[in-house]
């Protein structure tokens, strides 16, 4: 069990933000944190990793206290047993793949874990390769393997796949899920991608302005619009073209664009950049196989 | 988007599907949805719901005789026609309030639709959405 009580005054993109988050996370759970930019998602991960100190509160992982403001306990990041993977690949340019992993080994670690991880992440053949010749997906697999060398009790992922194309993202998600299972990890992932959250996590937490706005299984958290249209997505308005009394609304849903016909009466003061729900009855869509 | 508040009068379920009957100011509506009272507890007699359907799904009939498979039929009077090159927006005054329909301008001309005409607005059962009143209804999601 991981108990987090985190309070911190942050300088968010939209001005000061009071982060106030209390969470209990079961061992072995895969938790996702969802929210708009500036809602405090990354700060939560950074505080758990010890890269940022809360003003008040505590972080307890199993029996270990990593942070306690009242008792002035604040373990250094390297003393916290966490693996951290960021969106941008933070590999050492002067080390080959195997070197990256070996560098993370501590004296007491069994060196065989390096080969095991090379195999799980399917990067064994890249052992002697240097980062500059790796693809984005390969780099991120190396970063992931390196984060797991010390068999962390907690894996923290900060939008780890958002720079990758969809096919690669899907494969990386599978690697992470496999590692999560094989190593019995507790994983906390920050993600903007609802499909990813559905696929990966048992529990999702929606942060709004530094507070937990919703929490639960992804199906419950994202399916509570309570409209009976089952063909339902959230997206962002990219452009609006007026054509007489009609609007042609371009909406980005995941990495796909859709065009939707609407009217001013229907959508009111809709503007570019708005987050929207797009719903249709489940009876309308047609389904067609497009496997290669 | 046409949206009216009503009360559920009956729910018929079969497997994962339900046909929900709703009374809106004395006007009967039916909606078929992929949910049941088990998956969505608000689906019961007496619950307040919004009945929602898109303008482009509203069929207009004039002097309709014989049988028609559309279950949702509302009598009204045309109060406004906003003609575009291809599409027209027809506003129909009814017991529900205004119903907006978008149909082709071609259809408006062919049927000779004019302001003041008595017409029927019709919506297929599978085009009607429901949303419980008071819930996080149609607005942008988290």
How confident is the model over A210-263, as pLDDT tens digits? 999 989 888 778 765 555 656 778 888 888 988 888 898 998 887 788 889 888
Q: Which of B19, B26, B18, B20 is nearest to B8 (CA)?
A: B20
* Residues B68, B29 within the same domain: no
Domains and CATH numbers, chain A: 2-222 (3.40.50.300), 231-280 (2.40.50.100)
Please state, rounded to an integer, the average pLDDT across all residues of chain A: 87
Tell me if B87 is assigned to some domain. yes
Separation of alpha carbons B64 and B117, rounded Å: 13
Write down the pTM of the prediction.
0.60
Q: What is the ipTM of this complex?
A: 0.75
| Chain A partners within 8 Å of B130 (Cβ) | 227-228
pLDDT of residue A172: 86
Question: Rounded to the nearest 10 degrees, how much is the dihedral formed by the CA atoms of A118, A120, A125, A131?
Answer: -60
DSSP A63-86: TEEEEETTTTEE--GGGS-EEEE-
Cα angle at B86 between B84 and B87, to 5 degrees?
65
What pLDDT is recorded for position A130? 94
* pLDDT of res. B136: 46
CATH number of the domain at B68, please.
2.40.50.100
Q: Does B74 share its domain with B31? A: no
Interface touch A224/B135, C-beta < 8 Å: yes
Residue B22, pLDDT score: 97
Q: Total domain count for chain B?
A: 2
Residue B47 domain-assigned?
Answer: yes
What distance lies between CA A91 and its chain's CA centroid?
Answer: 19
pLDDT above 90 coverage of chain A, percent: 40
- Residue whose tokens read 């990593």: A66
Residues B119 and B81 in one domain: yes
Clarify whether residues B62 and B29 are in a common domain. no
The Cα A277–Cα A236 span in angstroms is: 9
Element of type H or E holding A45: helix A41-49
Give the lowest-confidence range in A166-170, A172-176, B7-11, B106-110: A166-170
Closest by Cβ to A281, choosing from B1, B126, B139: B126
Partner-chain contact B89 A230, CB within 8 Å = no
C-beta atoms of B132 and A245 within 8 A: no
| Chain B CB within 8 Å of residue A219 CB | no
The answer, yes or no, to whether residue B26 has pLDDT greater than 60, is yes
Q: What's the mean pLDDT in A55-66?
A: 93
Same domain, B10 and B59: no
Does B41 contact A at CB distance below 8 Å? no
pLDDT given for residue B142 in this prediction: 24
A226 touches chain B (CB under 8 A): yes
**B87 — contact with chain A (CB < 8 Å)?**
yes
Both tokens of residue B103? 């149909």
Q: Which two tokens stand for residue A137?
A: 């997906």
- For helices A112-120 and A136-148, the axis angle rounded to 10 degrees is 140
Q: Do B72 and B118 reside in the same domain of the chain?
A: yes
B67 and B8 in a common domain: no
Q: How far apart are the first and last CA of chain A?
A: 44
Q: How far is CA A239 from CA A93, A194, A232, A242, A243, in A?
A: 40, 22, 20, 10, 13
Q: What is the pLDDT of residue B135?
A: 52
Taking an 8 Å cut-off on Cβ atoms, the answer to whether A228 and B131 are in contact is yes
Q: Which two tokens stand for residue A242?
A: 């007026």
Helices (H) and strands (E) in chain A — how many of each?
Answer: 8, 15
Predicted pLDDT of residue B137: 42
H or E segment and range at residue A97 = helix A97-104
Range of the structural domain that residue B36 is part of: 2-53+126-132
Look at residue B138 and tell me if it is in a domain. no
Of A225, A228, A274, the CB nearest to B33: A228
What is the arithmetic mean of pLDDT over A181-187?
A: 91
Residues B64 and B43 in one domain: no
Residue B139 near chain A (CB below 8 Å): yes
Half-sphere exposure of A187 (CA within 13 A, CB side): 29
Neighbours of A243 (CB within 10 A): 12
Alpha-carbon gap, residue B98 to A126, rounded angstroms: 67
* A289 DSSP assignment: -
Residues from chain A that touch B139, judged by Cβ atoms under 8 A, are 225, 277
Q: Under DSSP, is residue A4 helix (H, G, I), strand (E, B) or coil?
A: strand
- A266 to B35: CB separation less than 8 angstroms, yes or no: no
B60 and B43 fall within a common domain: no
Is residue A273 predicted with pLDDT exceeding 50? yes
Interface contact A244-B85, CB threshold 8 A: yes
User: Hey, is the C-beta of A215 within 8 angstroms of any chain B C-beta?
Assistant: no
Write the residue in B1, B35, B140 that is nearest to A266 by C-beta: B1
């Amino acid at each position: 069990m991981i108990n987090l009580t985190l309070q911190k005054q942050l300088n968010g993109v939209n001005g000061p933000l009071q982060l106030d988050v209390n969470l209990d996370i079961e061992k072995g759970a895969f938790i996702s944190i969802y929210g708009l930019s500036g809602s405090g998602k990354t700060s939560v991960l950074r505080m758990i990793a010890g890269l940022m100190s809360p003003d008040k509160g505590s972080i307890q992982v199993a029996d270990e206290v990593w942070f306690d403001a009242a008792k002035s306990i604040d373990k250094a990041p390297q003393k916290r047993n966490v693996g951290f993977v960021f969106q941008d690949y933070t590999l050492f340019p002067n080390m080959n793949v195997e070197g990256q992993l070996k560098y993370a080994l501590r004296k007491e670690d069994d060196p065989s874990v390096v080969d095991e991880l090379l195999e799980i992440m399917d990067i064994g053949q890249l052992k002697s390769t240097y980062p500059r010749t790796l693809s984005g997906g390969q780099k991120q697999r190396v970063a992931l393997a390196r984060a797991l060398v010390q068999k962390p009790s907690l894996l923290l992922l900060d939008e780890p796949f958002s720079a990758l194309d969809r096919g690669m993202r899907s494969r990386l998600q599978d690697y992470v899920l496999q590692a999560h299972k094989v190593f019995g990890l507790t994983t906390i992932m920050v993600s903007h991608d609802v499909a990813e959250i559905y696929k990966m996590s048992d529990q999702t937490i929606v942060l709004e302005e530094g507070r937990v706005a919703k929490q639960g299984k992804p199906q419950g958290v994202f399916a509570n619009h309570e409209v009976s249209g089952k063909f339902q997505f959230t997206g962002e308005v990219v452009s609006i073209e007026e054509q007489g009394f009609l609007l042609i609304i371009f909406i980005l849903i995941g990495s796909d664009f859709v065009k939707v016909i609407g009217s001013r009466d229907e959508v009111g003061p809709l503007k570019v950049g708005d987050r929207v729900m797009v719903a249709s009855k489940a009876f309308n869509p047609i389904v067609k196989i497009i496997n290669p | 988007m046409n949206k009216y508040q009503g009360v559920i009068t009956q729910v018929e379920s079969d497997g994962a599907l339900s046909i929900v009957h709703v009374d809106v100011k004395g006007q009967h509506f039916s909606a078929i949805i992929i949910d049941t009272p088990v998956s969505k507890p608000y689906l019961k007699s007496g619950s307040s719901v919004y009945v929602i359907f898109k303008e482009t799904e509203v069929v207009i009939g004039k002097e309709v005789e014989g049988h028609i498979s559309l279950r949702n039929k509302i009598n009204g009077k045309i109060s406004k026609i906003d003609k575009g090159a291809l599409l027209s927006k027809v506003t129909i005054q009814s017991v529900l309030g205004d119903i907006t329909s978008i149909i082709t301008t071609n259809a408006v001309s062919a049927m000779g639709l004019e302001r003041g005409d008595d017409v029927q607005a019709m919506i297929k059962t599978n085009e009607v959405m429901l949303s419980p009143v008071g819930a996080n209804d149609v607005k942008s999601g988290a």
